[in-house]
A and B are shown apart, each in its own frame.
Chain A
């Protein structure tokens, strides 16, 4: 066991503490899909299949067993990574986990792109707003933060498509790749794969397709950064150590960049963890707007084609990612701020 108070000890503790959360999320998915009134198989087929097909599907998936037995089977299956095989049209008979892993990189690429846009725009606007307190630029940027946050992400996507794809023709409006054959799958992130193969032309195509979706999702998320950075900067610009720096005659720009800004970012990382929920929900909508072939599209397609194991699998993977990210964020927090370690 590592020494108490060390980062490793903190990471291990945090990992164990995340297990109850994971189990609760898995249980919620179980309850929604199997226990609440309504028959998911019948609902998914929506009257398109005769009763005996519905009954046969239910039996095949073990949904006619008692709840406790289903629950044990389900948790065991998830923990061993066996998410079953697809019963939908497009992926019939294929391993659910395999299909999801194939779609996951698209969503990851979009999420990273959006986070980059959100942090650049959000931090820049937050700093300008926080250092010009109550001046017109501050009021305007605070309004921006409030309004951009409640704009429907799919509507923003459509408007950006109208302006930059249809009107100006700068970027493609749909898909992850077009024109040339897509890069060979290595990581599944087209931008990274094209660079690994040293194909700058493919990289440019990939980036062009990534710009509008990332901008759409990133802009919506940026409002939150604007507000958080501003609020924390206001707290740190008046802190004692900043006053002390000012008294020593250090120029204001340097005070902001070297003293106040760094400490203002710590709480931003903490609340960043909560943003992943919004990021993934927004990604599902953005994927639909831009026909971006990721996890969100897979989920919608699976709901549409009554692919019960796939729906369950996608949701379970989302839950795993959310729990894993919350651990990672907390460990990063421990890394930059020693006070949070247990």
Chain B
């Protein structure tokens, strides 16, 4: 249990230690954005009635006003309400997609890097092949076969991010394996399991928040993309940024901008926040960059 707690808190130590550097500030901005979105996702739907997100709730295509700050869309739904409910939907898919990829990719990478040999080469070949293939296409194919829905889309997206977790974890494991302290532990007679979990995993886990943030940003984009292509969620989901953008397409020609602008801005705010967090953390934990800064 103590080990698990150490593994969980370890990645966040540099965030506190270097909060005054530029990467530190970027990370905090990103973390702040993520937390705000999580709060919106949890409390927003409690404050805004789901009825406003349904068709024919209001007159269609009202431009933004005090009653409807973001206007209404082509079938009479309040854009603001859709955008707020969409936050919850996106975060749910992100949580499923990125967490499942972590749960599968991290142990595989650790094992592959630690054991090495034929198993490692096979894993690397398969993972690299998946990684080279356009993620959205693979997710679209999986979604078309297993069907729509938040959980199914989460699964379809997981498959394309497992290679990312695998790759980074494996490379980090390979370099950590050669460290003197691992050698020393081995010489003292520590068991393989102990070495892998307390020595290697403890030092590899530091890269996880970096990949999590970057893949989470990508997850949001891919999920929105799938919905935009009509392969994402069921039509009755109360908020779905990708589908809202798809619905907005028909009215662009008449100069209706609000149904397109606002859902897109939400996607960008969230993904930019996540990439600030990811890139800031990357600068903090990457020792090579750190040396350059000093």
Evaluate contact between B147 and A315: CB separation under 8 angstroms. no
Evaluate contact between B140 and A303: CB separation under 8 angstroms. yes
Evaluate contact between B142 and A299: CB separation under 8 angstroms. no
Could you count the A-B residue pairs with CB atoms below 8 Å apart for me: how many are there?
A: 139
| A105 interface contact, C-beta 8 A | no
| A155 interface contact, C-beta 8 A | yes
| A115 interface contact, C-beta 8 A | no
Evaluate contact between B142 and A32: CB separation under 8 angstroms. yes
Evaluate contact between A152 and B252: CB separation under 8 angstroms. no
Q: Which residues of A contact B137 (CB under 8 A)?
A: 280-281, 284, 299, 315, 318
| A44 interface contact, C-beta 8 A | yes
A30 smallest CB distance to B (angstroms):
11
Evaluate contact between B221 and A25: CB separation under 8 angstroms. no
Task: Write out, one digit per residue, whether chain B residues 227-245 have a CB within 8 A of any chain A CB (1) or not (0).
Answer: 0111100000000000001
Question: Which of B134, B135, B224 has the most chain A CB within a 10 Å cutoff?
Answer: B134
A contacts with B: majority SS: helix
| B141 interface contact, C-beta 8 A | yes
Question: Which of A29, A281, A289 has the most chain B CB within a 10 Å cutoff?
Answer: A281
| A202 interface contact, C-beta 8 A | no
Interchain CA distance A77-B169 in the complex, whole Å? 37
Q: Which residues of A contact B264 (CB under 8 A)?
A: 151-152, 155, 158-159
Evaluate contact between A159 and B261: CB separation under 8 angstroms. yes
Interchain CA distance A14-B32 in the complex, whole Å? 46
| B99 interface contact, C-beta 8 A | no
Question: Which of B141, B224, B260, B274 has the most chain A CB within a 10 Å cutoff?
Answer: B141
Comparing B55-63, B123-131, B176-184, B188-196, the segment that makes contact with chain A is B123-131
Task: Write out, one digit per residue, whether chain B residues 17-49 have a CB within 8 A of any chain A CB (1) or not (0).
Answer: 000000000000000000000000000000000
Comparing A34-42, A78-86, A183-191, A251-259, the segment that makes contact with chain B is A34-42
Evaluate contact between A285 and B133: CB separation under 8 angstroms. no
| A154 interface contact, C-beta 8 A | yes
Interchain CA distance A37-B155 in the complex, whole Å? 13
| A125 interface contact, C-beta 8 A | no
A223 smallest CB distance to B (angstroms):
10
Evaluate contact between B132 and A173: CB separation under 8 angstroms. no
B residues apposed to A, CB below 8 Å: 125-126, 128-138, 140-142, 144-147, 217, 221, 224-225, 228-231, 245, 248-249, 252-255, 257, 260-261, 263-264, 267-268, 271-272, 274-276, 279
The 24 listed contacts between A and B (C-beta, < 8 Å) are A20-B125, A21-B125, A24-B130, A25-B132, A28-B133, A29-B141, A33-B141, A38-B145, A38-B147, A146-B275, A146-B276, A151-B268, A152-B225, A155-B260, A155-B264, A155-B268, A158-B264, A173-B253, A277-B134, A284-B134, A289-B249, A299-B140, A311-B141, A323-B132
Closest 7 CB pairs of A and B: A155-B264, A281-B136, A150-B271, A281-B134, A24-B129, A280-B134, A277-B134
